Structure 1
Amino acid sequence: MPSSGPQDFQVKSEQTSSGPRYAVVKLTPEVVGVLQEYGPGALAGSFPDKRRPDSIKFGIGDVVSVTIFEAAAGGLFIPAEAGVRPGNFVSLPNQNVDSAGNITVPYAGAVRAVGRTPAEVQQDIVKSIGNRAIEPQVVVALITQNTSLISVLGEVNQPNRFPANAAGERVLDAITRAGGPKGPGWETWVTLERNGRRATVPFGSVVFSPLNNVWVHPGDSIYVYREPQVFLAFGASGQQGQFPFDMWKITMAQAMAKAGGLLDAQAEPAGVYVYRREPRELAERLGVDGSKYVGPLVPVVYNVDFRDPAGYFLATKFDMRDKDVLFAANAATVETAKFLQFVRTVVATADDTIVTTNNAHILRLNLKNGTALNTN
């Protein structure tokens, strides 16, 4: 019989003839609690280090200044004649960290700078000139950062590559320095890439979930782009098709309302499903046997029973995700009604054929009798 999708018992049987295997998970308060723990928190999960970034270190190409102080005149850098120059320090010309990772300081020679903090370089210089200068003190400063940079690209008002803040900054701080996102927040996504690892979340989850607003490290790249979040509705709902979230997140109850609710004369209230793929770890926490499935993602079908009044409370706590499929199965009586209608059509067609045949036979008899009468 024609249908808009599988019947309720077929989905719950977890049997498939051609597609990937899947697991049916009934929506309960415990399941909702686990899903909320695994909400759109990809940044917090992929970059779990919650510590502030380390101090900025020198890299090849950075411009560095060195200032050397002595306790009295007549030392290595300050002339004995007090009136020759003011102050008890000398500032060396700014210099780049060379390709070997060093800077050059008179009487100290090449000093290793790459991968080290200003304080570490200062200590090395003091040790090198300590037996020549008079109680030397050294100040090393980063004048121009050419390596400890953060890139913010994509749908922001001022895409840029700017120096990392020595005080540390988070994802939202970096996006703000780039002028903020161009488009509406609910259509905006944020991708953070660090050392070959990448994670993407909706912009709203960074704003409303503080754990996702992670620290940004030197060398990180942030890509902001626009892609409306949508879900797809099929089956016995008021409308079928693709629907935008129009906000950064919606619940199953809101999605059902957007799709026109359940059709009173067609839907099975206990057969409403959401199809999605979940990480293996999450699926196993939901009671799914992960050994039956191949790959890092497990196809999961969530089922909510709207015959139970509490099902509506659960639906208001179940967050939809981008590209979820919402399916409402037909009631069993609908399939029976379709079959009975088909039988009626067949019987009516047969009756029409018999009636037509009888009428044709009567017409032939009438014509034959009429011909005989005319002959007489």
Structure 2
Amino acid sequence: MKVNTTRRATLVGLVAVVATVSGCGLPRSGPNKREIFAGSVMNKGDAFIVTVNSRVTRATSVMPAYGFSDAFRKAGAVGSDTINAGDVLTLTVFENVKDDPLLGNTGQRVSVLDQVQVDGQGYIFVPYAGKIKAAGQTPDGLRQAITRKLDSQTPDPQVTVQRLAGDGQTVSVSGAVGGQGVFPIERPTRTLSAMIAKAGGVAIEPAVAVVRVTRGSQTGKVWLQDLNENPALDIALRGGDRIVVERDQRAFTALGATGAQSLVPFETQTLSAIEAIATVGGLSTSLADPTGVFVFRNEPAEIANQVLGRKDLRGDQRMVYVLDLTQPTGMFEARDFLIRDGDTLYVTEAPFTQWSKTINAITGTANAASSLASSSSSG
């Protein structure tokens, strides 16, 4: 009699547990399709839910346009022989005398003035010639100026001027390059691509490399691949330019029934929805609902108006784009729809998944109850 009472109590407990499991929410990766659609503006929510088609794809295919302004592109190449403040020069003077040269010791007809730096005002000092304006001149022009100054003091002086690598016309190169540093602008390195090569080239994948140039208060940037393919982007450099090579900072978030749930950096300049899904391991074959692939995005008003066929929206709008991969053109739409920086890619779970979880929960509870009953009867 006591055993029957225990079994009856166990059965009552089992029924109560089953009822509790059926009534409570089971663990899941996020909202289902019905809950997402409930947040639509049509249902007094705050998001516009739009099914992706070719028209929507065209309206939303907006990617960051990098490039340089006219101020960068129209600046001509720096003359490789132009002397600037900060440059270092080597001066060599040949005197046509044997016994008493002006600059050298007795019997010394050749005098070398090494490491002569052009000062901040653009001048150099040459013994017996005084201060001479060097900045803005070519080595040949400076040679003539020095010759004129010395000609009255030593017969027929012969002067040579060599411009070395000083800090007058230099740029800094940093970031993801083979060798960071400060480099002089010389004949082979007067353009952006040549200077990057001088710094050892890029140290990251070219597909995600962005080159940023700051000149004074202006900044421009360009994709490395575009720089390599378009000669018009290979701008001439100026002294003081700061060149930084960096990885593309764009990323999207993958959530729901995908192979991975994480913040995912872009690996190419453009990224389609189907490529984004593939990047995170595809849809989970045991969980995902291919009719419920969503892209959440804050869309600028101009694009939102175009997508919705309106003109009255102001400011960023919450948009939810829906992709149904089971439709005849579903895979093509996902292939053409572009993911943008900050997007959230979310894949809902199939309805069967929740049903299966419920059955598993009930079955597991029943097995536990059965074990409990067996233990009770044996005791």
Alignment partner of 2:321 out of 300, 303, 311: 303
Residues 101, 113 of structure 1: 8 Å contact kept: yes
Match of 2:294, as an amino acid? V
Quick check: 1:326 aligned with 2:351?
Answer: no
Query: Is 1:272 paired with 2:301?
Result: no
Partner of 1:163: 184
Matched with 1:145 is 166
Q: CA-to-partner distance for each residue in 1:98-125, whole Å, 9 max, x for gaps?
A: 23322346887544344x2527955993
Q: Is 2:335 aligned against 1:316?
A: yes
Q: Please name the residue that 2:79 is paired with.
A: 55
Closer, same or farther in 2 for the Cα pair 1:26/1:153, shift >3 Å? same
Q: Distance in 1 between matches of 2:132 and 2:44?
A: 69
Q: Displacement of 1:149 after TM fit? A: 1.2
Q: Does 1:248 align with 2:272?
A: no
Give distance in 2, aligned partners of 1:39 and 1:137. 61
CA shift in 2, pair 1:52/1:276, >3 Å: farther
Alpha-carbon separation, structure 1, partners of 2:232 and 2:137? 29
Contact 2:83 2:139 in 1 (8 A): no
With the length of structure 1 as denominator, give the TM-score of the two structures: 0.56
Q: What SS class does the counterpart of residue 77 from structure 2 fall into? A: coil
Cα offset for 1:85? 10
Q: Deviations over 1:36-68 (max 9, x none)?
A: xx6454244697625543335544321135679
Equivalent residue in structure 2 for 1:64, among 69, 89, 96:
89
Q: Which amino acid aligns with 2:258?
A: G
Gaps of 5+ in 2: 1-23, 359-379
CA contact (8 A) 1:188 1:224 kept: yes
Distance, in Å, in 1 between the alignment partners of 2:49 and 2:91 is 65
Q: Please, which moves more after superposition, 153-162 or 136-145? A: 136-145
Matched, 1:7 2:26: no
Residue 241 of structure 2 corresponds to 220
User: Are 2:57 and 2:337, in contact at CA under 8 Å, matched by a contact in 1?
Assistant: no
Q: Deviations over 1:264-313 (max 9, x none)?
A: 987474863252666x88889888869822xxxx5674736547645543
Deviation at 1:155, TM superposition (A): 3.5
Contact persistence 1:192–1:199 (CA under 8 A): yes
Query: Counterpart of 2:177 in 1: which secondary structure?
Result: coil
**CA distance in 2 between partners of 1:125 and 1:29 (Å):** 70
Name the CA distance, whole Å, in 1 between partners of 2:231 and 2:122. 38
How far the C-alpha of 1:254 sits from its partner, in A, is 0.9
What is the CA–CA distance in structure 2 between the aligned matches of 1:304 and 1:46, rounded to whole Å? 41
The one-character-per-residue Cα deviations of 1:115-144 (angstroms, maximum 9, x if unpaired) are: x25279559939987x98999998754223
Q: Write the deviation string for residues 3-45 of structure 1: whole angstroms up to 9, x where unpaired.
A: 824613635659766xxx999796646864884xx64542446
**Could you list the runs of 5+ residues in structure 1 that have no partner in the other structure?**
343-376
Report how many residues are paired: 315
One-letter amino acid of the structure 2 residue matched with residue 325 of structure 1: T
Q: Does the CA contact (< 8 Å) of 2:215 and 2:241 recur in 1? A: yes
User: Hey, what does 1:359 align to over in structure 2?
Assistant: none
* Counterpart for residue 42 of structure 1: 66
**Residues 101, 227 of structure 1: CA spacing in aligned structure 2 closer, same or farther, 3 A cutoff?**
same
- Judge which range, 257-266 or 143-152, deviates more: 257-266
Q: Shift of residue 195 of structure 1?
A: 1.8
User: Could you tell me whether the CA contact under 8 Å between 1:271 and 1:305 is conserved in 2?
Assistant: yes
RMSD of aligned residue pairs (Cα, Å)? 5.7
Q: 1:163 to 1:202 in 2, by over 3 A?
A: same
Distance 1:117 1:205, change over 3 A: same
Distance 1:239 1:14, change over 3 A: farther
Task: After TM superposition, give the deviation of residue 163 of structure 1 in Å.
Answer: 0.8
1:146 is displaced (CA, Å) by 1.2
- Name the SS of the counterpart of 1:61 in structure 2: coil
- Conserved 8 A contact 1:41-1:211: no
TM-score w.r.t. structure 2 length? 0.56
Contact 2:38 2:45 in 1 (8 A): no
Give the distance between the partners of 2:122 and 2:170, measured in 1 at CA: 18
Partner of 1:194: 215
Which amino acid in 2 is paired with 1:61? G
Which residue does 1:173 correspond to in 2?
A: 194
Q: What secondary structure is seen at the aligned counterpart in 2 of 1:223?
A: strand
Q: Is the 8 A contact 2:254 2:345 kept in 1?
A: yes
What SS does structure 2 have at the residue aligned with 1:42?
coil
